[in-house]
Structure 1
């Protein structure tokens, strides 16, 4: 708990444990690469094509006019920012370094053999029941006042948005509209509220290391208009990092490894990372839609070429997570573990 970054009044110097080697923190490219912004209020055929094209091209896109009420988004932002402003003693009861706990507050994480840590605090919340039940609510923090209600008002329509995006992808790829329903998207919905305090030397550290998401689909609300999300982009031939500029009211959408396996590689799980800011705090909210633990994830038959066969082996989500944690979250390692 003493290492919680958000409990310090300020940070004058960057501790050595947060310093990454230069080859692990290449700067973002200055190339002008725009992440597509898709208006979901347009005709469905047009939206379907745009979502699939953006997913194939970059693996990341932003959506606006998505149906999540603005007051729900603003309420979530305000509640989460207020949570991290609480004094340390008010957050202490929720702090845990046990990764098996579905609801907890933690700070940083050891990354790689060198023991470097990254510059963020995280409030992780899980929701397995919709409509949200009392057991779920009471497992969430009760401070600041109203945070449980704010999380529920945000989470329910955000999950619905993710479900609709999955249906659009199905329609675009020629799958049944409910192909991703059931166990493939029926696990806990997990929310990571990532808080990146102002950093005294952001050029020498990272907020999150390069990684690919483990889940099916991710919806990220970038908070406060402060940029920090960067996406790997091979379009220039050098594997550049490009910065995703916040768009007011938008969600950033990206795909996890489960969607890549389930679509036989038609859609990719793309590496991304986060960087802190020298002067401004940043609080973002990532909503992850996951399979159930025993769900067998395998390529859809409709997307498997009869001659080439599947590109990925079938795997339960539980087994996937065991391997994912063992090899690390980098794309190359996970690809090697599950590619046929």
Structure 2
């Protein structure tokens, strides 16, 4: 396969160290890439989609039991801003206790619990591997993100004939470090913005996973890595389901670039801040598309 798929870089995670340069370029230029040969069985991905699809079919009173642990980490019903969109959240997806609580809230069966836990463990392992390889691609030790919390955001878009051509989710960046997305293998609609300000369609590539870089990646890399703006457009009257896993940032330590990424040619761009401080800044200012980074610039 080519090194890109319809303009989106392809990273073969079984082909390192040869892929380091391609990975670095993808992180710097688009902030978005697809991964192949990621070792997560296709059967597990398909079963996870079946499980979460059935959870969305639960009565509203049960779905609302998916409570927040941190702001924004629980169930999101359709709203006036995003009327076609609803989502479940699971904070600290690598924790068996957190998965147990999530499943208990939604009356998940033992089989569903097993699938959610297995999928979470597999995605978390891949997330740690990709995070390490991103650091190694710029010459650093890849052991920096092992204790960072992660979060699920499981999405359903309820598109109708009347909504074709409208926006399912507004333009935004992710606030954390990186996102691994299992997009709907049958339904497109995701678009990412390139550095020219043009939207590029991210069409499904079955069996692959999509990685987006968020605002914390820009802070940690001292501006080298690109936090990609993206949105979801309604392209057809159908239901679209996607499963996103976010690597957020350290629980308590400030996010700042390693010393190796700060020099005379690359002065420090952002003040050190914790992920929680930045998340609250985005929530209070309602700046959701990376603009909040301008408020924490050091110069």
TM over 0.5: yes
Does residue 143 in structure 1 map to residue 108 in structure 2? yes
SS at match of 1:309: coil
Cα offset, 1:277, TM superposition = 3.9
Per the alignment, residue 63 of structure 2 pairs with: 94
Per the alignment, residue 45 of structure 1 pairs with: 17
Root-mean-square deviation (CA, aligned residues, Å) is 2.3
Structure 1 contact 217–256 (Cα < 8 Å) conserved: yes
Per the alignment, residue 125 of structure 2 pairs with: 160
The normalised TM-score by structure 2 is 0.89
Per the alignment, residue 74 of structure 2 pairs with: 104
Unmatched 5+ residue regions in structure 2?
A: none
SS at match of 2:167: coil
Per the alignment, residue 8 of structure 2 pairs with: 35
Cα offset, 1:144, TM superposition = 5.8
| Mapped partners of 2:67, 2:117: distance in 1 | 24
| Mapped partners of 1:314, 1:225: distance in 2 | 41
Pick aligned residue for 1:79 from 51, 61, 67: 51
| Mapped partners of 1:337, 1:200: distance in 2 | 40
Cα offset, 1:74, TM superposition = 1.1
Higher Cα radius of gyration: 1
Q: Aligned residues, how many? A: 291
Cα offset, 1:93, TM superposition = 2.5
Unmatched 5+ residue regions in structure 1?
A: 1-31, 111-115
Pick aligned residue for 1:58 from 19, 23, 30: 30
Cα offset, 1:249, TM superposition = 0.6
CA deviation string 1:80-130 (max 9, x = no partner): 1122233x2xx41231697547763321345xxxxx334111111223554
The normalised TM-score by structure 1 is 0.78
CA deviation string 1:230-268 (max 9, x = no partner): 101234xxx111110110111100111111101101101
| Mapped partners of 2:79, 2:217: distance in 1 | 26
Structure 1 contact 123–194 (Cα < 8 Å) conserved: yes
Per the alignment, residue 220 of structure 2 pairs with: 262
Structure 1 contact 197–276 (Cα < 8 Å) conserved: no
Structure 2 contact 163–234 (Cα < 8 Å) conserved: yes
